[in-house]
Amino acid sequence: MSINGAAYVVGAFEHPTRKAEGQSVAQLHAEVAYGALQDAGLSKDDVDGFFCTAAAPGLGPINMADYMGLTKLRHVDSSDMGGCSYVMHVGHAAQAIKEGRCNVALITLAGRPRAEGMATGTVPRSWAPNIPDDPFEIPMARTVVTSYAMVAQRHMYEYGTTSEQLAWIKVAASQHAQHNPHAMLPKPVTVEDVVNSPMVADPLHRLDCCVISDGGGALIVARPEIAKSLKRPLVKVLGCAEATKNQAGGGIDLSYSAVRQSGAAAFAEAGVKPSDIQYASIYDSFTITVLMQLEDLGFCAKGQGGKFVADGNLISGVGKLPFNTDGGGLCNNHPANRGGMTKVIEAVRQLRGEAHAKVQVPGCKLALANGVGGLLGHRHGGATLIMERE
Amino acid sequence: MATMSANRAIPAPKEDPTTKPFWDAAREGRFLIGLCKDTGKHFWYPRGCSPFTLSNNVEMVEAKGTGTIYSFTVMRSKEPHAPAYVELDEGPRVFTNIVDCDLDTLKIGQTVKLVFKATEEGGAPVPMFTPV
């Protein structure tokens, strides 16, 4: 069953806060939900499908549905694949709409790791009790940054990728962030700035890493009849797919990601190819994360990511593939340590023609939002979403 | 300038009923890995099913404790330490640490050997590796 054309993204809202000292996580969920409904021109009682993840406070969707007074729900989904969950949820919402299980789906994300002083990337963390890999990996100081760093190290070994090439990803994000008044790091940086910033975990420098921020975002996905009754530009879901990649019982291969599979499936469902894409939101937890996804999505051949991103090729108005025109996780925000939501939101802005004028892709008709969730160097998920301006 | 690996405090592994024999062996200085008896292939990490067939026709067998570095990183914003994947001579790639050496000299492909490291609160020792 294809979801191509089954649903539209009719509402999108990104919380403006980057440090939520005065708001609880639940309040942030409510604020982004309200913002997205206002953006769509809908109200709370139009929502009959609700999507969140384990990052939402409570047991699955139950506590947040209660907090927000969502009394009309007939479809819920709290499937969690880390930071890319919200990309995946758009596809799940389109499936549910196509099956008639809901008409208006609300997807929310919120968190306040910055206000809570969380050491997001550099301290070993378990996701939950009874995880079978934890006893073998927590003592080994498995952290987010070291997991991604091992992938970068291997990429450099296999393909000759350089720190300077990775730095171009940050440079491009910073060029976009200078136009975003909410961005945490709005100052443009150079390749030299990145490679001269302190080494965190070889070969990733501080400026190869994303920011830690509070905030969140929400999306509204609706069936075509409803989308066409609203006043917003029409953003149609063409294809969406997810995949996981494992350690394979000791056969782990760090040269590719789950996105190789999710990307191929989403492109097939959408009936388009990478060279058709005019704008791409690519989850940028680290610079290497972007490089890996670009290769696995087919924007360039495996191993050629370094050359592809160099010389400003990701900068809007300069290069072939404008990416993360809000500044992305590298410069703008990374709410709740989960970047998938903001990736979809900026792609929606581009398709509506509502990105900042300095970074808007002229006549943007076809956009992609992509994410990786979990630990790229251990086990992770990938999700790919392709949308079209109708 | 050398960066010697720190003797960082290593959290004790949380043992579970399925992998208790692994930790018991570790306390005796023996390094076990999984063996799928359906396929004859070794696997990592130890578990109660085969990641190749899903059957529980598995056992833990002693590994030689030698291999090569598949990838690594040096964590520099904390006490210096080196998370790494080591490809064992038996085949599986094991997530571990490279210890007791100058971390600035590490290279992918380098030969390493097993060394057990004590953990906090009297926990079982954990398998790490050091250059040969």
- Which residues of chain B does A145 touch, with a Cβ-Cβ cutoff of 8 Å? 75
Q: Is A157 on the interface with B (CB under 8 A)?
A: yes
d(CA B43, CA B60): 9
pLDDT at A122 (0 to 100): 86
| Cα of B95 vs its chain's centroid, Å | 6
- For the stretch A69-78, pLDDT in tens is 999 999 999 9
Three-class secondary structure of residue A387 per DSSP = strand
- The total number of structural domains in chain B stands at 1
- For the stretch A13-35, pLDDT in tens is 999 999 999 999 999 999 999 99
Q: Is residue A186 a part of any domain in this protein? A: no
E strands, B6-102, where?
Answer: 32-36, 42-43, 58-62, 66-72, 82-88, 93-98
pLDDT in tens, chain B (132 residues): 799 998 899 999 999 999 999 999 999 999 999 999 999 999 999 999 999 999 999 999 999 999 999 999 999 998 999 999 999 999 999 999 999 999 999 999 999 999 999 999 999 999 999 999
Three-class secondary structure of residue A307 per DSSP = helix
To probe the interface with B, which of A125, A134, A146 has the most B CB atoms within 10 Å? A146
CA distance B113 to chain A (A): 16
- For the stretch A225-239, pLDDT in tens is 999 999 999 999 999
CATH of the domain at A276: 3.40.47.10
To probe the interface with B, which of A137, A197, A252 has the most B CB atoms within 10 Å? A252
Q: Is A6 exposed, middle or buried (0-12, 13-18, 19+ CB in 10 A)?
A: buried
Compute the CA torsion angle A90, A95, A101, A105 (nearest 10 deg). Answer: 10
Q: What is the mean pLDDT of residues A197-203?
A: 98
What domain range is B55 assigned to? Answer: 20-131
B11 DSSP assignment: P
Per-residue burial over A334-362, b = 16 or more CB atoms within 10 Å of its CB, e = otherwise: bbbbbbbbbbbbbbbbbbbeebbeebbbe
Q: Is residue A336 a part of any domain in this protein? A: yes
pLDDT at A125 (0 to 100): 83
pLDDT at A126 (0 to 100): 86
Residue that the structure tokens 């190749």 belong to: B52
Three-class secondary structure of residue B42 per DSSP = strand
A59: Cβ contacts below 8 Å, ≥ 6 apart = none
Please answer yes or no on whether A140 and B45 come within 8 Å at the CB atom: no
Please answer yes or no on whether B11 and A138 come within 8 Å at the CB atom: yes
CB A328 within 8 A of CB A185: no
To probe the interface with A, which of B41, B73, B114 has the most A CB atoms within 10 Å? B73
Q: Is A378 on the interface with B (CB under 8 A)?
A: yes
CATH of the domain at B38: 2.40.50.840
Q: Is residue A324 a part of any domain in this protein? A: yes
Q: How confident is the model at residue A385 (pLDDT cuts 50, 70, 90)?
A: very high
pLDDT at A127 over 80: yes
What domain range is A64 assigned to? Answer: 8-117+209-389
pLDDT at B31 (0 to 100): 98
pLDDT at A152 (0 to 100): 98
Q: Which helix (H) or strand (E) holds A219?
A: strand A215-222
pLDDT at A85 over 90: yes
Please answer yes or no on whether B13 and A135 come within 8 Å at the CB atom: yes
pLDDT at A128 (0 to 100): 86
Q: Which of B11, B73, B95 sits opposite A136 (nearest CB)?
A: B95
Q: Which of A346, A329, A347, A345 lies closest to A389, judged by CA?
A: A347
d(CA A87, CA A102): 18
- For the stretch A290-323, pLDDT in tens is 999 999 999 999 999 999 999 999 999 999 999 9
Please answer yes or no on whether B126 and A151 come within 8 Å at the CB atom: no
pLDDT at A245 over 90: yes
pLDDT at A304 (0 to 100): 98
CB A226 within 8 A of CB A103: yes
Q: Is residue A341 a part of any domain in this protein? A: yes
Whole-number average pLDDT of chain A: 97
Please answer yes or no on whether A249 and B81 come within 8 Å at the CB atom: no
B51: Cβ contacts below 8 Å, ≥ 6 apart = A246, A248, A249, B36, B43
pTM, entire model? 0.97
Q: How confident is the model at residue A124 (pLDDT cuts 50, 70, 90)?
A: confident
Q: Is residue B12 a part of any domain in this protein? A: no
Pair of tokens at residue A26: 């639940």
| Cα of A10 vs its chain's centroid, Å | 18
Q: Is A288 on the interface with B (CB under 8 A)?
A: no
d(CA B19, CA A169): 42
- For the stretch A128-169, pLDDT in tens is 889 999 999 999 999 999 999 999 999 999 999 999 999 999
Phi, psi for residue B7 in degrees, rounded to 5:
-90, 70
Q: What is the mean pLDDT of residues A84-90?
A: 98
Q: What is the mean pLDDT of residues A265-269?
A: 98
Q: Is residue A311 a part of any domain in this protein? A: yes
Q: Which of B18, B76, B126 sits opposite A199 (nearest CB)?
A: B76
Please answer yes or no on whether B73 and A132 come within 8 Å at the CB atom: no
Q: Is residue B30 a part of any domain in this protein? A: yes
Pair of tokens at residue A361: 């892709």
CB A260 within 8 A of CB A296: yes
- Which residues of chain B does A250 touch, with a Cβ-Cβ cutoff of 8 Å? 33, 42-45, 88, 91-94
- Which residues of chain B does A380 touch, with a Cβ-Cβ cutoff of 8 Å? none
A201, closest residue in chain B (CA to CA)? B75
Q: Is A250 on the interface with B (CB under 8 A)?
A: yes
pLDDT at A123 over 90: no
Q: Please give the share of chain A, as a percent, with pLDDT higher than 90.
A: 96
Please answer yes or no on whether B51 and A248 come within 8 Å at the CB atom: yes
CB A287 within 8 A of CB A166: yes
CB A56 within 8 A of CB A108: yes
Q: Which of B12, B52, B70 sits opposite A249 (nearest CB)?
A: B52
